[in-house]
Chain A
Amino acid sequence: MPEKPKVAFYWCASCGGCEEAVVDLAEDILGVVNAVDIVLWPVAMDFKKKDIEARPDKSITVSFINGAIRTTEQEEWVRLLRRKSQFVISFGACANSGGIPGLANQFTREQILKFSYEDSPSVSNEAKTRPQASCQDEGHALSLPTLHNVVRSLDQVIEVEYTLPGCPPTPKLIAGAVTALLSGKLPPKGTVLSPDIALCEECPRKDSKPADLALAEFKRPHSSPIDPEKCLLAQGFTCMGPATRSGCEALCVKGNMPCTGCFGPTSRVRDQGAKYVSSVVSNIVPKDEAGIDAVLAGIPDPIGTFYRYGMPKSILRRKVDLS
């Protein structure tokens, strides 16, 4: 019996949703488990770093890595996995472009630490103690990973072969990727494993979008009723669909929520947020400054809206600390 392909799953700065997505394969996961040997899966199985270190280089067929790179430990792990793996798949929005953790790039590391350990209303820390990279406790030397200055996407740290988009990737896309890998029918390196066309293509509300958007106001889902049939952008919700890669089958829209852009841009676009702003703002009705400002007041958090998943990979990338 030939040896089964070896698969690793690893998580970095992420919420765990991508792990859930793997579990969401439901009974399909049994087929996967049968076909492969899982050599690392911290969320479900107990392996140690030294187990991986002990493996020969390139002995793992594929590593699925989710989460952004925030800490020194995460960087160490992904470099290790890169060395041991034939393929690395960047799994989910955080690994692909920084995701929600990437929004931390709006602040400097010092701002983050100060807020988290000193200023946050729920913190009581009069001594202003902060985590240290190393310390002594009852004669034992302890160490902790430290935060990098910025959050990076996986491909800003190591080379990746393929990208599975989504927050999280859908079971269908995961199954497709795994099948392709197991069957050896691999697309060209660097491929994002979902269609390279924007979401409107597969949106059930596409036909309800008017030729002239004429946006007179922006609304937010928590404070305005949402028509379940009509194009969300036409209703004034900042649906990111036109600037977002398809492949999710318009899951959020089908759930009557606007697309927030988790699949990232198409291959032609360098900066998803900038592209979206350029498109949508051009379709605002008022042409005078005061009128435009009034409409834009409906978007109180532009970075959180337009760069929700992609700040580290955008042209904005990070806050620069000039102090």
Chain B
Amino acid sequence: MHNGQTSIELIFPSILGYEVVARRVVATFADFVGFDQARIDDLKTAVGEACINAIEHGNQLQPDLPVYITSSYDGHRFAVDVSDTGTNPLAIIKEPKTIEEKLAGAASLRGMGMMLMAALADEFIVEPSAAPGNTVRLIWYQREVAHT
């Protein structure tokens, strides 16, 4: 169990499959600082989705464009920032399509990533990066916080 301020950084190319590497690294870090397995499972899924968004939508599958991950822990708050370097802004889906709409052919079968991230993290924020690109910030607390 790690109680002080600590962080890791990771950079990977915009190639599908690298999200698996990233989520494993972040999950190992979360385990290192003492998160329980259920929260690590949530974290792995959400981080994987953030990375796929960065690769596919932010960086448009251009392998030479990097995805940056910074993950930090301060003894209470575990944050993961996933930043792309593309110029394509991520679309914020306020009301994701339901499975009924997908089954009826009224919506793409894809497009559940944002909903999963919002549901699995305690806090979920999408914002433009200082440099070109987008940052998805996912936050978990050691103790459950009420969703508002």
**A and B together in one complex:** no
| Residues of B in contact with A (beta carbons under 8 Å apart) | none
